[in-house]
């Protein structure tokens, strides 16, 4: 198969097969779903869906200024117990930052965690020095100021820590928030009343100990919880108005991939991908969303007053999504995310689906000056029984630049998954278009701008992008797997634009 990597899982299974089933069994118990189950038995569910505070920014000298403070917080998930959390400003997650295309923004990020971290602006096109990746460390007590101009298309983006080796732990404990970017040039008749018919949904999974604390198993290959949280509440309820409602879905989980749908199998329409609106609404009954990805959907509740429906994940329908050693019970089932109660409509509801949404300026393959290949692999060190996750045979080295790109070049990146598990591949700075999945064009709902793409086992995904506007030979951007435990284990590389 390939170079430098130790022993792949498949090879290892074969090897252990030779030695007999006893060894295979012991290997499986070492690597098996070591996702512990919650020992808390009475976790509070079905609370009303919390809506993160919306920050519109304070105008100062023509710039919009936002303040975020990373702090330790406390929540109650188990009656009578405190759950220690990390958060931006509040006690879990962070405020939603509302910005407009063209805004010059200043974000002051203060770290009061008691330990270093960073804050990265996932999906935003910006100078590398402002990216908030592993190189922009914020020491405890410091404030880091990020300044950039919003060039992104109207869509949903997010922010989260990105310190080497610590991203998964920091996100798991609650550090994550959304951006909503609007484009004043294209006002479409879409639901846009935040918290009423325009609803952010940050979906995560966690494990609760009986004392209320979050169980964060370390040295893990992909933490999957047995409790699903939306905006920081466990399987909450939402009162939807009887009209078209826009949900902005973020898979903010460490490792879980969802297959969203509704309990009555109703059709809904996807209108946006990670980095912009689709050309037209795409009718779906299922929406697969891997970690880091966003999707905006419209759901029609018109005339459905007093009815109820559940947003669920039809996870058992996902083929090939989990090798046995990383599956837990939820992966083999359909489970609830949120219960929706339909109430009366608001004034001036949106009652029609727009026929078209946006025009996408498609980069052509013939414009690409270079194709780069990225091979994703899982290795298994027999001696240490630990997993390695590599890209092109290497793990992340903060002192190594892996790729150097010429400013304004259009390139094709070919991501090859040689591994046994799916890996969501994310590239900083840019938005890309998927050219092919195993040689075929992507499904319609993936035909818009993206910054994260799920690459299934034995799949090759080719994407095209342009590295415009920002060059800095000294400051790299990252590309990595967005399963946070894989990223922390080194499934990440660095590129500079020069």
Site string for Cu ion, 387-426 (x = CB under 5 A): ------------------------------------x---
Q: How many CB atoms lie within 10 A of CB 468?
A: 15
Q: Which does 162 bind (CB under 5 to 8 A by kind): Cu ion, ligand C2O, none?
A: ligand C2O
Asked whether position 126 contacts ligand C2O by CB under 6 A, the answer is no
Given its phi and psi angles, is residue 365 left (phi above 0), alpha (psi -120 to 50 degrees) or beta? Answer: alpha
Pick from 229, 215, 291, 327: nearest CA to 483: 291
Kindly report the backbone phi and psi dihedral angles of residue 169, in degrees, each rounded to the nearest multiple of 5, phi listed first: -65, -45
Three-class DSSP category at 260: strand
Cα 380 to chain centroid distance, Å, stands at 26
Asked whether position 295 contacts ligand C2O by CB under 6 A, the answer is no
Residue with tokens 């100078």: 127
Site string for ligand C2O, 478-497 (x = CB under 6 A): x-x-x---------------
Nearer to Cu ion, 64 or 428 (CB): 428
Q: Are 482 and 162 in contact (CB under 8 A)?
A: no
Q: Name which position in 486, 488, 490, 494 contacts Cu ion (CB under 5 A).
A: 486
Nearer to ligand C2O, 434 or 491 (CB): 491
- Closest contact distance (angstroms) between CB of 88 and ligand C2O is 15
The Cα 423–Cα 355 span in angstroms is: 34
Asked whether position 481 contacts Cu ion by CB under 5 A, the answer is yes
Q: Name which position in 201, 202, 483, 484 contacts Cu ion (CB under 5 A).
A: 483
Q: Are 169 and 177 in contact (CB under 8 A)?
A: no
Q: Which does 481 bind (CB under 5 to 8 A by kind): ligand C2O, Cu ion, none?
A: Cu ion
In terms of DSSP bridges, do strands 492-497 and 403-405 run parallel, antiparallel, or are they unpaired? parallel
Please identify the residue of the shown chain whose CB is closest to the bound ligand C2O: 122
The Cα 3–Cα 410 span in angstroms is: 29
Q: Which stretch binds Cu ion (CB under 5 A): 89-97, 122-130, 233-241, 336-344?
A: 122-130
Count of residues of this chain found to bind ligand C2O when the rule CB under 6 A is applied: 10
Q: Which of residues 232-251 bind Cu ion (CB under 5 A)?
A: none
Site string for ligand C2O, 411-430 (x = CB under 6 A): ---------------x-x--
Q: Rounded to 10 degrees, what is the CA torsion of 13, 17, 18, 20?
A: 140
- Closest contact distance (angstroms) between CB of 130 and ligand C2O is 14
Asked whether position 292 contacts ligand C2O by CB under 6 A, the answer is yes
Asked whether position 450 contacts ligand C2O by CB under 6 A, the answer is no
- Closest contact distance (angstroms) between CB of 177 and ligand C2O is 12
Asked whether position 122 contacts ligand C2O by CB under 6 A, the answer is yes
How wide is the angle at C-alpha 78 spanned by C-alphas 74 and 84, nearest 5°? 25
Asked whether position 220 contacts ligand C2O by CB under 6 A, the answer is no
> How is residue 315 annotated by DSSP?
G
Please state the three-class secondary structure of 340-400 as a single string.
EEEECCCCCCCCCCCCCCCCCCCCCHHHCCEEEEEEEEEEEECCCCEEEEEECCECCCCCC
- Element spanning 171, H or E: helix 167-172
Asked whether position 162 contacts ligand C2O by CB under 6 A, the answer is yes
What residues line the site for Cu ion (CB under 5 A)? 122, 423, 428, 481, 483, 486
What residues line the site for ligand C2O (CB under 6 A)? 120, 122, 160, 162, 292, 426, 428, 478, 480, 482
């Amino acid at each position: 198969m390939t170079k430098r990597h130790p022993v792949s899982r498949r090879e290892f299974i074969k090897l252990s097969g030779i030695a007999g089933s006893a060894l295979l069994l012991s290997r499986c118990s070492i690597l098996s779903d070591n996702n512990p189950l919650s020992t808390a038995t009475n976790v509070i569910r079905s609370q009303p869906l919390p809506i993160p505070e919306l920050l519109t920014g304070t105008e100062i000298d023509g710039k919009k200024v936002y303040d975020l403070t990373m702090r330790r917080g406390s929540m109650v998930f188990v009656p009578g117990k405190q759950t220690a959390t990390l958060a931006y400003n509040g006690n879990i997650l962070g405020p939603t930052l509302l910005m407009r295309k063209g805004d010059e923004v200043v974000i002051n990020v203060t770290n009061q965690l008691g330990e270093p971290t960073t804050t990265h602006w996932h999906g935003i096109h910006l100078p590398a020095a402002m990216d908030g990746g592993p190189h922009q460390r914020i020491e405890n007590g410091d404030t880091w100021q990020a300044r950039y101009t919003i060039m992104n298309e109207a869509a949903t983006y997010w922010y989260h820590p990105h310190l080497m080796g610590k991203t998964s732990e920091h996100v798991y404990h609650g550090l994550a928030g959304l951006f909503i970017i609007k484009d004043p040039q294209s006002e479409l008749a879409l639901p846009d009343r935040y918290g009423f018919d325009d609803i952010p949904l940050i979906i995560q999974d966690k494990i609760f100990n009986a004392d209320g604390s979050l169980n964060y198993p370390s040295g893990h290959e992909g933490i999957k919880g047995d409790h699903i949280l939306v905006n920081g509440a466990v399987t909450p309820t939402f009162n939807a108005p009887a009209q078209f409602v826009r949900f902005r879905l973020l898979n903010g989980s460490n490792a879980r991939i969802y297959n969203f749908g509704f309990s009555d199998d109703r059709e809904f329409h996807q209108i946006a991908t990670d980095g912009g609106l689709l050309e037209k609404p795409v009718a779906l009954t299922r929406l697969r969303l891997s970690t880091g990805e966003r999707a905006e959907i419209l759901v029609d509740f018109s005339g459905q007053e007093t009815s109820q429906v559940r947003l669920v994940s039809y996870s058992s329908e996902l083929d090939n999504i989990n090798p046995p050693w990383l599956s837990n019970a939820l992966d083999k089932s359909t489970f609830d995310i949120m219960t929706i109660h339909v109430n009366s409509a608001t004034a001036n509801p949106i009652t029609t689906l727009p026929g078209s949404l946006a025009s996408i300026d498609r980069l052509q393959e013939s414009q690409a000056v270079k194709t780069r290949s990225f091979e994703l692999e899982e290795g298994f060190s027999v001696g240490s029984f630990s997993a390695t996750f590599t890209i092109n045979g290497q793990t992340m080295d903060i002192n190594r630049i892996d790729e150097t790109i010429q400013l304004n070049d259009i390139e094709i990146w070919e991501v090859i998954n040689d591994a046994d598990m799916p890996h969501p591949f994310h590239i900083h700075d840019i938005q890309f278009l998927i050219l092919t999945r195993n040689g075929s064009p992507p499904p319609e709902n993936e035909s818009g701008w993206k910054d994260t793409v799920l690459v299934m086992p034995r799949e090759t995904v080719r994407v095209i992008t342009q590295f415009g506007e920002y060059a800095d030979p000294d400051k790299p951007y990252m590309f990595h797997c967005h399963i946070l435990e894989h990223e922390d284990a080194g499934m990440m590389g660095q590129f500079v634009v020069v």
